[in-house]
């Protein structure tokens, strides 16, 4: 695993409040899926806090067992972030 992947994994684990490494393989799969999902949604920028948050939310939606209300809120947040990222311009 590359250093950047390790850092991203650690950031996701902090966001989800996960200790230990027994779920690392699953989390890495979810992180990779998040990148693919965002790319397929038309997001090209990968290097900002909003993109990182989108990855964390995507992983959370697929990793955590949440109520329907929590899931719907996170899905709306992810959709909103994707719209913002798609129309982001470099300043």
Whole-number average pLDDT of the chain: 92
Tell me the DSSP string of 26-59.
Answer: HHHHHHHHHHHHHHHTT----SSHHHHHHHHHHH
pTM: 0.90
- Confidence band of 88 (pLDDT split at 50, 70, 90): confident
Looking at residue 46, what is its pLDDT?
79
Percent of the chain residues topping a pLDDT of 90: 79
Who has greater pLDDT, 59 or 3? 59
Looking at residue 90, what is its pLDDT?
52
Half-sphere exposure of 62 (CA within 13 A, CB side): 18
- Confidence band of 14 (pLDDT split at 50, 70, 90): very high
Q: What is the pLDDT of residues 50-66, one digit of tens each?
A: 999 999 999 999 998 88
Domain ranges for the chain:
3-86
């Amino acid at each position: 695993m590359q250093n950047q992947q390790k850092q991203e994994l650690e950031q996701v684990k902090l966001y989800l409040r996960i200790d230990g490494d027994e779920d690392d393989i699953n989390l890495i799969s979810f992180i990779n899926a998040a990148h693919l999902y965002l790319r397929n949604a038309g997001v090209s920028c990968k290097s900002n806090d909003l993109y990182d948050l989108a990855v964390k939310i995507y992983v959370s939606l697929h990793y955590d067992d949440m109520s329907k209300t929590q899931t719907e809120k996170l899905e709306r947040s992810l959709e909103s972030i994707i719209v913002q990222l798609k129309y982001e311009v470099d300043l």
